[in-house]
Every structure is written in C-alpha cells, then in structure tokens.
Amino acid sequence: MKKLNPGQDNHKEASGKDYKDIFQETPEGIIITIEVSAGSKKSLFPDGYNPWRKAFGIAVKAPPVEGKANKAIMELIAGYFHLPVHAVTILSGQTSSVKKVRIHGISRQQIIDIISE
C-alpha cells in the first residue's frame, strides 16, 4: 500500500479521471473501498492507498472484536469529513479487512477536495 505524504501528490494512482473508479456515486451517498488495519497503535485515515484494490487504508486502535473496529472506522471517517457518525455506513465486509463504506451528506467533489488536501 502506498503511504500518503503531506504536501505531495499522494493520489498519483488515484487522481483525475481515476477518481470515478474510487468513488461510486449513488443517490444514497458516495461509496468508497477501505482496507482496514485494526488493533493499530494509532488511528489514521487515510492511511495510504492501494491502487490494485482501489482502496484507501485506514488504521484504528480498536480490536476487531464485537464490532469495536467497525464502530471506530465509522467514527474516524465521519470525523475526517466533518459529518455525524450516522452519515457513515459499512455496506459490506463487516468481518473482513476490506470494506465498502457509504458516506452520506457530502458530495463526491467535496470528498475529493478533502482527501486531496
């Protein structure tokens, strides 16, 4: 997974025309793929980008037990995009390290702008 570096073009693999493959736009919100590292030393989003999976990395301190990591994922993504937690839903991969997440209440372009900062 490529690490993201502040001040650099972290999304070389995920820029311009490729964004349409990363962010799926639906009437219910924007869907992204994430690759989770649960039980990490620190929580971080985005934590790199996997161009093969077209997935953003996310690290959470919470262990992958009893939904704790999933709850932490939703809280971290919501906080990153300045949204309430209920605006983030895990659509698939509840017990997997690769998940599809829907983000409601923000446009595709706003997500791109925030991630590109």
Whole-number pLDDT of residue 14: 47
Please state the pTM of the whole predicted model.
0.84
Whole-number pLDDT of residue 13: 43
Whole-number pLDDT of residue 20: 59
Nearest alpha carbon to residue 116 among 5, 40, 21: 5
Cα–Cα–Cα angle for 51, 53, 59, rounded to 5 degrees: 90
pLDDT, tens only, 44-65: 999 998 999 999 999 999 999 9
Q: Which residues contact 104 (CB under 8 A, 6 or more apart)?
A: 28, 29, 30, 83, 87, 88, 89
pLDDT, tens only, 5-46: 433 344 444 444 455 578 899 999 999 999 999 999 999 999
Whole-number pLDDT of residue 4: 47
How far apart are the C-alpha atoms of 80 and 105, rounded to whole Å?
Answer: 13
pLDDT, tens only, 95-114: 999 999 999 999 999 998 89
Domains (range + CATH), the chain? 12-116 (3.30.1200.10)
